[in-house]
Amino acid sequence: MWGRGAAPGEVGDEAMRAVDYQTDPSRYRHWRIEFDGEVAYLVMDVDQAGGMGDYELKLNSYDLGVDIELNDAVQRLRFEHPEVGCVVIKSGKDNVFCAGANIRMLAKATHQQKVNFCKFTNETRLAIEDASQNSGQAYLCAIRGNAAGGGYELALAAEHIMLVDDRRSAVALPETPLLAVLPGTGGLTRITDKRKVRRDRADVFCSTEEGIRGRKAVEWRLVDEVVPNSRWNETVAARAREFAARSDRPRQAKGVRLTPLARRIDGDRGDYSHVAFEIDRARGVALVTVRGPSQGVPDTLEAAHRRGADFWPLAVARELEDAILHLRTNEAAVGVVLFRTEGDAEAVLAHDDFLARADGDWLMREIRHYLKRVFKRIDVTAKSFIALIEPGSCFAGTLAELVFAADRALMLIGTREGDNRAPATVALGRANFGFYPMGNGLTRLETRFLGEPATLEALKGKLGEAIEGETAQALGLVTAAYEDFDWDDELRMLLEERTSFSPDALTGMEANLRFAGPETLETKIFGRLSAWQNWIFQRPNAVGDQGALKLYGSGVAPTFGRERV
């Protein structure tokens, strides 16, 4: 699967590398966006023949390709359409809303593909919620026809769910009865924690293949309202206008076009305008370099808007996101990612200050939330991240967040022989104290210093200071600081050690160590729900030859081992 035109069944590395997260509406095969003033209709109309593999996307079922378009649409609506205050997700098909993730696709996918597919679709649904909550772009879901499994999970990401009352259309999470897996795209977590459905009703609902419709769906809080068929379109439109009317987005503003990325990915190397990566396949290590701003901060807010997709914080967010998604999906054998930066720390901090000053501006708000989401993608990526802080780097403010998102950070003390650049520094900026909360609701520094609130307080007094290696280590900002003559050996040993460990144990370890403190809907989805789903994705009852996923649609009933674990 994945690579278009790949042979059926398990696919090799080449097809895997075909996954590209970049698209634009002119290339969509599965979605269209219809604009009606401040309301946008995001219409799901999946092209049955447009799957990434050898399966048919019947009944508005989806695969990764469909979700890549959805992610792109959600993103563009935020950046390119400041006038849109409400997005209505609806189906372009007459008889179905969405049948969820395509089963044949799941049956054929490797374990790694299933896990990454679910991770990305979860991120997309969280981005929908982020738009509703933080960008004044509320999502409303208008369900006509059945919304089953991932179809209903998509609806659950909306702020308001409308269901037509036509005695047929229902919402359902039939994964357990039908497929022996979980509603893993946030479904279980959102019914208990977002919609607060009573647990026994949730149990009944998740056991009921045909789902629940009409008034009962409202009573059980599965949807927010049911609407007679005769008044469907007008009610949906009216509700959308209501939501849009509450938006604080500037209807007269001009959007920023997300132009195609300046990108060249060629085997082991990837080059963007401000990001680059290089893969050392022998070791399974990728080096990601992020470059600071090549221009000074704009003189005015208008000038920043004019820079559009070239405005450094936005450009770097897009490029870093694409690189992370590429490595995550297409380079599974890369276990360690090294973060380096290059450039002027002052320029990074100046951009952060610009973002902070322009707090009321819709576009600057979007950029901050976007960077937040990119850093969160790192938090849930199953690779070890190590920040390398060396002379010439600019780990300041927004880019210092890479240090705190990393599992470890190594810093060079002093200068390098034969290198006349100043010693490496890290610098905290306003960005590190609230711009980019993690999924747990805390900043990375708050999470890092959960056990040392006094240190956190003290760090607030150091905004903008260029902190050198030994001090950074003493302050707890980096894991270790080494002098030049130790650096290479220490790094080599660390990489040798890290790449000798079981990739699975590292994934589980990191998933636990990265999220100290409170759990939220979001961390529950990536922690509890996804972990159980990944477990089930390994169990013969789901994926074995007699398992439900493999036999689905074959007419043969699965045979389950009856042992309860």
Residue 309 in the binding site for a second copy (CB under 8 A): no
Applying CB under 8 A, among 199, 251, 306, 357 the residue interacting with a second copy is 199
The conformational region for residue 40 under phi > 0 = left, psi -120 to 50 = alpha, else beta, is beta
Residue 448 in the binding site for a second copy (CB under 8 A): yes
The string of DSSP letters for 46-106 reads --TT--SSSS--GGGEE-HHHHHHHHHHHHHHHHH-TT--EEEEEESSSSEEE-EE-HHHH
CB of 16 to a second copy, least distance (A): 10
Residue 12 in the binding site for a second copy (CB under 8 A): no
Q: Contact at 8 Å (CB) between 225 and 122?
A: no
CB of 114 to a second copy, least distance (A): 9
CB of 386 to a second copy, least distance (A): 10
| Binding piece for a second copy, criterion CB under 8 A, among 62-70, 72-80, 130-138, 202-210 | 202-210
| Binding piece for a second copy, criterion CB under 8 A, among 67-75, 87-95, 291-299, 442-450 | 442-450
Judged by CB, which is closer to a second copy: 204, or 262?
Answer: 204
Size of the site for a second copy (CB under 8 A): 94
- Nearest residue to 379 via CA among 123, 128, 182, 133: 123
Q: In which residue are the tokens 């009216």 written?
A: 238
CB of 37 to a second copy, least distance (A): 34
Q: What is the DSSP letter of 212?
A: B
Q: How far apart are CA 558 and CA 565, in angstroms?
A: 18
Applying CB under 8 A, among 479, 483, 491, 552 the residue interacting with a second copy is 479
Q: How far apart are CA 294 and CA 297, in angstroms?
A: 10
CB of 565 to a second copy, least distance (A): 5
Applying CB under 8 A, among 4, 221, 373, 377 the residue interacting with a second copy is 221
Q: How far apart are CA 470 and CA 474, in angstroms?
A: 6
The conformational region for residue 229 under phi > 0 = left, psi -120 to 50 = alpha, else beta, is alpha
Judged by CB, which is closer to a second copy: 23, or 113?
Answer: 113
Applying CB under 8 A, among 9, 111, 215, 492 the residue interacting with a second copy is 111
Q: Contact at 8 Å (CB) between 294 and 346?
A: no
Judged by CB, which is closer to a second copy: 34, or 210?
Answer: 210
Applying CB under 8 A, among 204, 238, 262, 458 the residue interacting with a second copy is 204
- Which run of H or E residues covers position 237? helix 232-245
Judged by CB, which is closer to a second copy: 112, or 134?
Answer: 112
Residue 14 in the binding site for a second copy (CB under 8 A): no
Residues within window 376-405 making contact with a second copy, judged by CB under 8 A: 382-383
CB of 511 to a second copy, least distance (A): 6
Q: Which two tokens stand for residue 531?
A: 């972990």
Residue 502 in the binding site for a second copy (CB under 8 A): yes
**Cβ of 287: how many Cβ atoms within 10 Å?**
16
Residues within window 278-297 making contact with a second copy, judged by CB under 8 A: 284
Residue 550 in the binding site for a second copy (CB under 8 A): no
Residue 551 in the binding site for a second copy (CB under 8 A): no
To the nearest 5 percent, what fractions of the chain are helix, strand and coil? 45, 15, 40
**Is the sign of the CA dihedral 421, 424, 430, 431 positive or negative?**
positive
Q: Tell me the β-bridge partners of 141.
A: 89, 161
Residue 452 in the binding site for a second copy (CB under 8 A): yes
Q: Tell me the β-bridge partners of 395.
A: 426
| Binding piece for a second copy, criterion CB under 8 A, among 94-102, 353-361, 418-426, 498-506 | 498-506
Q: Contact at 8 Å (CB) between 475 and 448?
A: no
CB-count burial class (<10 Å; 0-12, 13-18, 19+) for 120? buried
- Runs of H (alpha helix) within 358-428: 362-379, 401-405
Residue 508 in the binding site for a second copy (CB under 8 A): yes
**Non-local CB neighbours of 209 within 8 Å, separated by 6+ positions:** 172, 174, 177, 178
Residue 192 in the binding site for a second copy (CB under 8 A): yes
| Binding piece for a second copy, criterion CB under 8 A, among 89-97, 163-171, 330-338, 458-466 | 330-338
CB of 138 to a second copy, least distance (A): 20
| Binding piece for a second copy, criterion CB under 8 A, among 124-132, 137-145, 175-183, 290-298 | 175-183
Judged by CB, which is closer to a second copy: 86, or 286?
Answer: 286
Q: Letter for the amino acid at 12?
A: G
Applying CB under 8 A, among 118, 498, 522, 551 the residue interacting with a second copy is 498
- End-to-end, the C-alpha distance of the chain in Å comes to 31
Applying CB under 8 A, among 32, 263, 416, 539 the residue interacting with a second copy is 539
**Non-local CB neighbours of 351 within 8 Å, separated by 6+ positions:** 293, 297, 312, 313, 397, 398
Q: Contact at 8 Å (CB) between 201 and 219?
A: no
Residues within window 518-537 making contact with a second copy, judged by CB under 8 A: 518-519, 523-524, 527-529, 531-536
CB of 196 to a second copy, least distance (A): 3
Residue 215 in the binding site for a second copy (CB under 8 A): no
Judged by CB, which is closer to a second copy: 140, or 477?
Answer: 477
